[in-house]
Amino acid sequence: MSLTTGERILQWLFRAVSGFFCALFVLVSPRRKAEKVPPVTDKLLLISAMQLAEKIRRKQVSSVDVVQSYIDRIQQVNPLLNAMVKDRFSEALAEAAHADMVIEEETGGEEVLADRFPLLGVPLSVKESFFLQGMPCSTGLISRAGFVANTDAPAVALLKRAGAIPLGVTNTSELCMWLESNNHLYGITNNPYDTTRICGGSSGGEGSILGSAGSVIGIGSDIGGSIRMPCFFNGLFGHKATPGIVSNDGQLPPSSGLQDDLLSTGPMCRYAEDLLPMLKIMAGANADKLSLSSKVDLKKLRFFSVVDDGGSPWTSPVDKQLVEAQKKVIQRLEADLGVKVKEMSFPQLKYSYQIWETCMALPDKDGKPPQSFAELLADGGSTVWPLWELIKWIFGKSDHTLPSIGLALMNSKPSPFFLKQKDALQHDMDKVLGTDGVLLYPSHPLLAPKHHHPLFTIYNFSYTGILNTLGLPVTQCPLGLSEEGLPLGVQVVGGKLQDRLTLAVALYLEEAFGGWRDPGAT
């Protein structure tokens, strides 16, 4: 689709100005040494959660040994990453010992255990924004430094009830609303493939600890790409479920207005085969709505591809290596399955950020507007004045990060024009996908950026955020590594309630492109 002359000029100006400031920032920033985590040497760390659960049930390995292996790995990599911000290792080992005892005492056999406790004895990491009993839940707010959860979020409770053993909680961006996991309470989290690069946000600590093989499965939340971007940057699988399937309760910040329609809680993991079982557990009674047990014949699906957002002036061009990776996916699909992947374009995608911003500002059904970001920063305490916080930040005195202050300064209101664009895009996308269509779309226009560089490309999350506004299930899938040794990936989008289709494609792509790669072995 072509841009108007005005849009081309605006695009050039925006990229020139952001490029100038980005270059200036690089010049004045202290040089960081690029490091990556050590290679994995413990074979227990290279087994999927479902296979681990099976081995534990069959007494081929004890849960205590598995949990200890992951504790050892976390202790090895976390000093480099700052991904896990609070552990519960002693409690986890005690729970692992109890899981082994349950297996010893079970008289009904392995099938009974698999049905009652499908994740019995398997380690789990949890995004710090979720309530996990006995663990902090601050989302990086200094004012919440002393808060300890006395209950579990529903999705966390379901995973624990299935036998999963939480190892600890992982870092987020401040109040979960930025592309990089950094805050003044816990500090900044690094990418395991290159510590000078971001791990993503807001589920970035999860992405980092999983990508480094410090965890096998994790739980994240996604209102604008907060599962998919960290999974992309850290070479993982992650699923943004159809909204309303997995409970969003028990996390901070709570959604308000119509934001719950955009927010999805979902699984993050290194192995594609763990996605569907985790989603089934986390969905609870709602799992039946997704028909997850129904077999998917990939040869009978209709495949589509969109190469970019149509040239929005606000977003970066898609990296050539990501374009090439998506082409390779198309070639493999057509060669292996005998399908034809149709290239599509949707004109409304160039308004992705504005559509997302408008939807985030919509009032609830009673007309009550969502909480402002400044109110969320205050967390029920003294009023936060964004301009004053900006002045304090300049002198290094603010408790808040620059991205959070910037968000608090914004006062978005719903735009009728962009609501019309959203409705048009929704209609076209739903019509194209139906109940048997799958769409390939870039996870992000860039490979994992250097630390703080998203400050100059703030709209690039639009590639994930737009899909939240449409309420579609999306699975982020890794596609190997770039020339720089950074993860490549693609989003696989399905129609509403068609989560099983994107999860089936994820299994195929893992087999075709190798899935997660050990960052220490590259």
Which residue ranges in the chain fall short of pLDDT 50? 1, 10-11, 14, 18, 21-22, 25, 27
**Predicted pLDDT of residue 81:** 98
Q: What is the pLDDT of residue 147?
A: 97
Residue 209, phi then psi, degrees to nearest 5 = -70, -35
* Residue 73: per-residue pLDDT: 99
Q: What is the pLDDT, as a whole number, of residue 194?
A: 98
Reported for 504-507, long-range contacts at CB under 8 A and 24+ positions apart, including other chains, are 504/296, 504/298, 505/298, 505/301, 505/438, 505/475, 505/477, 506/237, 506/239, 506/272, 506/275, 506/475, 506/477, 507/272, 507/273
Q: Which of 18, 125, 173, 202 is catalytic?
A: 202
Specify the pLDDT at position 16. 52
Among 226, 305, 316, 404, the active-site one is: 226
Continuous segment of H or E residues that includes residue 490: strand 487-494
**Pair type for strands 190-191 and 264-269:** unpaired
Residue 226 falls in the annotated catalytic set: yes
Residue 202 annotated as catalytic: yes
User: What's residue 107's pLDDT?
Assistant: 84
Q: Which of 36, 55, 127, 422 is catalytic?
A: 127
Do 141 and 175 form a contact (C-beta atoms < 8 A)?
Answer: yes
Q: Distance between CA atoms of 477 and 268, rounded to whole angstroms?
A: 11
Cα distances (Å, whole numbers) of residue 271 to 111, 180, 476: 23, 24, 12
3-class SS of residue 310: coil
pLDDT of residue 14: 46
Q: What is the pLDDT of residues 461-498, one digit of tens each?
A: 999 999 999 999 999 999 999 999 999 999 999 999 99
User: Buried b vs exposed e over 455-484: b needs ≥16 C-beta within 10 Å?
Assistant: bbbbbbbbbbbbbbbbbbbbbbbbbbbbee
Long-range contacts of 293-300 (CB under 8 A, 24+ apart): 294/500, 296/500, 296/501, 296/504, 298/337, 298/339, 298/504, 298/505, 298/508, 299/337, 299/338, 299/339, 300/436
Write the CA distances from 59 to 55, 124, 167, 228, 431, integer angstroms. 6, 20, 21, 35, 50
Tell me what pLDDT residue 411 has. Answer: 80
183: number of Cβ within 10 Å: 28
Q: Examine the residue annotation and report whether 181 is marked as an active-site residue of this protein.
A: no
pLDDT for 18: 47
